A and B are shown apart, each in its own frame.
Chain A
Amino acid sequence: MIRLLASLLALLLPLTAMAQEKVLRAVMHADVRVIDPVWTTQTIANIHGALVYDTLFGNDADQKPQPQMVGKYEISPDRLTYTFTLRDGLKFHDGTPVTTKDVIASLKRWGAKDGVGQRLMGYVTSMEAVDDKTFKMVLREPYGMVLESLGKSGSSIAAIMREKDALTDPQQQVKESVGSGPYIFAKDQWVPGSKAVYLKNKDYQPRSEPPSSFAGGKIPGVDRIELVWISDPQTAMSALINGEIDFYENPTNDFLPLLEKAKGVKLLKTGKIDSTQGMIRLNHLQPPFDNIKARQAMYYLINQEDFLRTIVGDPKYYKVCPGLLTCGGPYENDGGTHWMKEYNPKKAGQLMKEAGYKGEPITVLAATDHATITPATQVLISAMREAGLNVDVQSMDWGSVVSRRAKKDPPAQGGWNIFVTTSGGVGSSNPVLHTWIGAACDKGLFGWPCDPKVEELRNAFGMAATEADRQRIAKELQTEAMDDVVFLPFGQWDTPLAYRADKISGIVPNTGLAVLWGITKK
């Protein structure tokens, strides 16, 4: 009755013009609070960035780089000079043309901030504009990951900004989000923590190729996208079932059976590598895990099925994956996976003793508010206790885990021994883009594994000239990284996205970053 009355009243309102507007309402995994995809590695900032900014290249569904803003490019025979020419008609949302000045400034900023960008810039000796549309990038060594780096999705995409924005200190957030991508950010309608609005860029000229992951034509299919932030998963699910939203990026696994049955709703498994990889990180700086034997003992506490059943439940959404590189990805291999063959807490306890462990507390940072990390940590703690280890569980919200894991101090002084985290399957499929596989000591990620051979192999992978070389190096690298225990994998799972199939179509799957271009609404 109330709906009927509301409908009648709505008819009286002069909203006919607005009624023509196609609005996509999407709930993502987080709210847009940061509008600079380079300043942070947050995925949500990159989802925002992918809508607003364009990139020179985009990696396709097979993780092969394809030109995006670039029209044509040449690589010199010695693989040291790359010449890029921009496509015709590229314009920023303020109407100014995209020039090589903007591109070079943007790449410099990205290269100063992002891990993959820093690695690339380590090989770059110069970037010079030939004219407004062409520029040259000169390398000191034939680094083979130039295009893949420029086309990466996931965290910190190589977004091309206006020169004046790109000159912002990389440690500071840009003040305006004006790109040349398929959608325009409506900053005046932005309510952080509630809603971010994007309007169709009518001047955008998409590529003619069909969309494939982060590559191909980025066709803005609706007039307006509203990224609505619903923090409560139950409410988000109900809103989708009720048709109040069209797209739900990551429904909680518990709700999947309900969503499967809901009328008009479909679940989309987004691709073979667009998954999540579970990782247990040990602190290599502090005892007992400063000893490699103690780290290797931890392998005997990992039964991936235990973790995956607890987190996901339904086997059709998970996969046992004993390696460090994404299973199903181009570089999946069995190097070092013998470590994951046996679950044996008793043996783990014994090996820990042999490594000099005498029952000192092992501090585990246990997030209490994360849909997957919280249960995974509990499974790990249970296995550790079964092995007779003295577990000091430090329960805290994820925000506190994120802060504390950055501390290198001993656990008793605010540091830690173990935390659990996850990584995106697309990024984790490539040894260079997979930052967690690195072992760059102090310069690496939390846990600070230190293995020069791992870093040498990552560099060698980047320099490899042929695919066969890459495959070989990837296996060697995984073997070395698993021997050193850069992290312990506890499986791989998909979080299908849910959407109103009766209202929208054209979702581009398998991107490593949920992209909303291509979606059209009835």
Chain B
Amino acid sequence: MTAYIARRLFATLPVMAVVALFVFFLLRLAPGDPAAIIAGDDATSEAIAQIRTRLGLDRPMVEQFGLYLLHLFQGDMGVSIFSNLPVTRLIAQRLEPTLALTLSTLFVAVALAIPAGVLAAWKAHKLVDRLVMGFAVLGFAVPVFVLAYVLIYFFAVQWQMLPVQGYQPIGEGFWPFVESLILPSVALGVTYMALIARITRASMLEVLAQDYIRTANAKGLATDRVLLLHALKNAAVPIVTVIGIGIALLISGVVITETVFNIPGLGRLTVDAVLKRDYPVVQGLILVFAAVKVLVNLIIDISYAFLDPRIRY
């Protein structure tokens, strides 16, 4: 197992290199010029050209890429073209809100969707099943931002139960922290819940049709034991896979959720950096997202071995 993990971690290096290459060139091939954005509306072409020269954006692209790689190998992601602050600092500032939002969403989604999926499978084709699946279809169909605005309208503006926007770090109090995450987590988590609930139901239905479940039932085992210990454990591999795939969904969802709820996380940073053509920040963020995705995949693969003893690396 250790050798496998080491091999997988080593294999991430070429992946990251390819990501760095693609991001660098795609950004520069896309329309837009950070120098023009910095210069502002009343700047002349001459002023823009001077800023471009100062930023080194007029150098050959290969030379720029070489410098970028050199700095990257030294652990330096560069500085923001706009704020002059190191990219690592900008990312570090935004990590906590995104982590908090992602984990709370994951928690809410898994805690609600798996029981709902199990229930739907157990009561297949009955009213409960239809309700759960109806919710799943709706949850999948409603865009995150629409749900977000609806939640804000009712829970924040009309009933004033929760804040409209913003993020309170956990260091500034536990309740304000939780309060600031409730609406965003629900908005972001609904799609995710729908996905997990559907997969849980499908996987459980398959397992519940197996002979050993029939045997367990025939032995007179309690329903909860059959469902949770015998069926759910064996249905877990596809569910865990979907949870892993869903992390990518969450990352893209975070971009929208953070914008609507004004959470200063990595998603907002990404959108702002892309719109401003802040190349070093976008490059740094994509590398971080790619690394997270690779890491999550690795964790999911490792978890298979624990969930299913037949799987060995």
Residues of A with C-beta under 8 A to B94:
191, 194
Per-position 1/0 for B132-165, Cβ under 8 A of A: 0000000000000000010011001100111111
The reply to whether B31 and A242 form a contact with Cβ atoms under 8 Å apart is: no
A186 CB to closest chain B CB (Å) equals 14
Question: Chain A contacts of B244 at CB under 8 A?
Answer: none
A 422-465 to B, binary, CB cutoff 8 A, 1 in contact else 0: 01000000000001100000111110000000000000000000
**Quick check: is B73 within 8 A (CB to CB) of the other chain?**
no
CA–CA, A397 and B37, complex, Å: 12
**Min CB–CB distance A418 → chain B (angstroms):** 16
Q: Which of A5, A40, A190, A436 has the most CB of B within 10 A?
A: A40
Instruction: Give which listed residue, A241, A403, A435, A445, contacts B31 with CB less than 8 A.
Output: A403
A172: B residues at CB distance < 8 A: 54
Q: Is the CB–CB distance between B37 and A402 below 8 Å? A: yes
State which of A234, A442, A445 has its C-beta within 8 Å of the C-beta of B149: A234
* Chain A proximity of B206: nearest CB distance (Å): 41
A403-B40 in contact (CB<8A): no
**B182 to A: closest C-beta gap in Å:** 8
Measured between C-beta atoms, what is the minimum distance from A183 to chain B in Å?
19
Name the distance in Å between B288's Cβ and chain A's nearest Cβ. Answer: 16
B84 contacts A173, CB within 8 Å?
A: yes
**A2–B156 touching, CB < 8 Å:** no
Q: Is the CB of A403 within 8 A of B37?
A: yes
Q: Does B300 contact A (CB under 8 A)?
A: no
Decide: B31 and A404 in contact? CB cutoff 8 A: yes
| Separation of A6 and B262 alpha carbons in the complex (Å) | 20
B294 at the interface (CB under 8 A from A): no
Take A33-B82, A235-B152 as given contacts and tell me if A41 and B173 are in contact as well, using a CB distance cutoff of 8 Å.
Answer: no
| A59 CB to nearest B CB, Å | 17
Shortest A466–chain B CB gap in Å is 28
| Any B CB within 8 A of the CB of A408 | yes
**A286 within 8 Å of B (CB atoms):** no
B165–A230 CB distance below 8 A: yes
Interface of B is mostly: helix
Q: Are A42 and B40 in touch, CB under 8 angstroms?
A: yes
Nearest-neighbour CB distance to chain B for A87, whole angstroms, equals: 30
Q: Which of A13-41 contact B (CB under 8 A)?
A: 13, 31, 33-35, 39-41
CB distance from B119 to the nearest CB of A (A): 27
Complex: chain B residue closest to A195, CB-CB? B264
Contact A9-B262, Cβ < 8 Å, known A1-B161, A193-B269, A406-B36: no
| Contact yes or no, A239 B82, CB < 8 A | no
Residue of B nearest to A113 (CB): B47
Decide: A10 and B173 in contact? CB cutoff 8 A.
yes
Query: Does A131 touch B at the CB level, under 8 Å?
Result: no
CA distance A35 to B83 in the complex (A): 7
B175 proximity list for chain A (CB < 8 A): 5-6, 9-10
Is B51 part of the contact surface with A, judged by Cβ < 8 Å?
A: yes
Q: Are A40 and B40 in contact (CB under 8 A)?
A: yes
CB of A113, distance to nearest CB on chain B (Å) = 7
- Name the residue of chain A whose CB is nearest to the CB of B167: A194
Shortest beta-carbon distance from B272 to chain A in Å: 4
Cβ-closest chain A residue relative to B173: A13
Cα A303 to Cα B291 in complex, Å, equals: 54
CA distance A172 to B50 in the complex (A): 9
User: Is B164 in contact with A192, judged by CB distance below 8 angstroms?
Assistant: no
Q: Are B264 and A175 in contact (CB under 8 A)?
A: no
Interface string of A356-377 (1 = CB under 8 A from B): 0000000000000100000000
A171-B50, A397-B275 in contact; A238/B42 too (CB < 8 A)? Answer: no
* A242–B157 touching, CB < 8 Å: yes
Q: Is B17's CB within 8 Å of the partner chain A?
A: no
Supposing A115-B44, A408-B45 touch, asked if A403 and B36 sit within 8 A by C-beta, the answer is yes
Task: Choose from B37, B50, B53, B90 the contact partner of A399 (Cβ within 8 Å).
Answer: B37
Once the chains bind, are B271 and A231 in contact (CB under 8 Å)?
yes
Given contacts A13-B173, A40-B38, is CB(A239)–CB(B44) below 8 Å?
no
Q: In this assembly, does A400 line the interface, its C-beta being within 8 Å of a C-beta of chain B? A: yes
Residue B301 is within 8 A (CB to CB) of chain A in the complex:
no
Q: Is A155 an interface residue (CB 8 A)?
A: yes
Please encode chain A, from 136 to 180, with 1 for each CB lying within 8 Å of some chain B CB and 0 for all others: 000000000000000000011000000000000101110100000
Chain B residues near A232 (CB, 8 Å)?
259-260, 262
**Contact: A33 with B83, CB < 8 Å?**
yes
Q: Mark B244-283, 1 if CB is under 8 A from A, else 0.
A: 0000000000000001111010001101110111000000
B41 within 8 Å of A by Cβ?
yes
Complex Cα gap A10–B262 (Å): 22
Give the complex CA separation of A229 and B166 in angstroms.
10
A260 contacts partner chain B, Cβ-Cβ < 8 Å? no
Q: Bound complex: CA of A195 vs CA of B160, how far in Å?
A: 24
A115 and B163: CB pair below 8 A?
Answer: no
Known contacts A9-B173, A242-B156; decide if A399 and B276 are in contact (CB<8 Å): yes
Provide the B28-49 mask, 1 if CB < 8 A to any CB of A, else 0: 0001110011111111111110
With A155-B40, A193-B272, A231-B271 as contacts: A3 and B161 at CB distance below 8 Å: yes
A224 CB, nearest partner CB in chain B, Å:
15
Instruction: List residues 74-106 of chain B with CB under 8 A from any CB of chain A.
Output: 80, 82-85, 90, 93-94
In angstroms, Cα B162 to Cα A34, docked, is: 33
A5 CA / B165 CA spacing, docked (Å): 19
| Residues of the B chain whose Cβ atoms lie less than 8 Å from the Cβ of A405 | 36
Q: Which residue of chain A lies nearest to B277 when distances are taken between CB atoms in the complex?
A: A399
| A375 to B165 Cα, complex, angstroms | 28
Interface: A421 (CB within 8 A) = yes
Q: Identify which of A41, A229, A423, A435 gathers the most chain B CB atoms within 10 Å of its CB.
A: A41
Known contacts A155-B40, A396-B31: does B46 contact A238 (CB below 8 Å)?
A: no
Provide the residues of chain B in CB contact with A175, threshold 8 Å. Answer: 84
Q: Is A290 an interface residue (CB 8 A)?
A: no
Q: What mask results when residues 235 to 250 of chain A are scored 1 for a CB within 8 Å of chain B, else 0?
A: 1101101101000000
Closest A residue by C-beta to B82: A33
Tell me how far the C-beta of A42 lies from the nearest C-beta in chain B, rounded to whole angstroms. Answer: 4
**In B108-134, which residues have CB < 8 Å from any A CB?**
none
* Cβ-neighbour of B80 out of A1, A192, A194, A446 (below 8 A): A192
B146 to chain A, nearest CB (A): 11
CB-contact partner of B42 in A41, A242, A408, A443, under 8 A: A41
Whether the pair A39, B32 counts as a contact (CB closer than 8 A) is no
Q: How far is the CA of A173 from the CA of B152 in the complex (A)?
A: 39
Nearest first, the 8 closest Cβ-Cβ pairs linking A and B are A41-B40, A194-B264, A403-B33, A41-B42, A33-B82, A192-B83, A42-B40, A400-B31
Q: Give 17 A-B pairs besides A6-B179, A42-B38 with Cβ atoms closer than 8 angstroms.
A: A3-B161, A5-B175, A9-B174, A43-B40, A113-B47, A175-B84, A190-B83, A191-B264, A194-B94, A231-B262, A231-B272, A235-B165, A238-B156, A238-B164, A238-B165, A239-B166, A402-B32
Residues of B near any A CB (own CB < 8 A): 31-33, 36-48, 50-51, 53-54, 80, 82-85, 90, 93-94, 149, 152-153, 156-157, 160-166, 173-176, 179, 182, 259-262, 264, 268-269, 271-273, 275-277
27 A-B residue pairings within 8 Å (CB atoms):
A2-B162, A3-B160, A9-B173, A40-B39, A41-B40, A41-B41, A42-B40, A42-B41, A43-B40, A115-B44, A155-B41, A192-B83, A192-B85, A193-B264, A195-B264, A232-B259, A232-B260, A235-B164, A238-B153, A397-B32, A397-B275, A402-B32, A402-B37, A403-B33, A406-B48, A443-B44, A445-B42
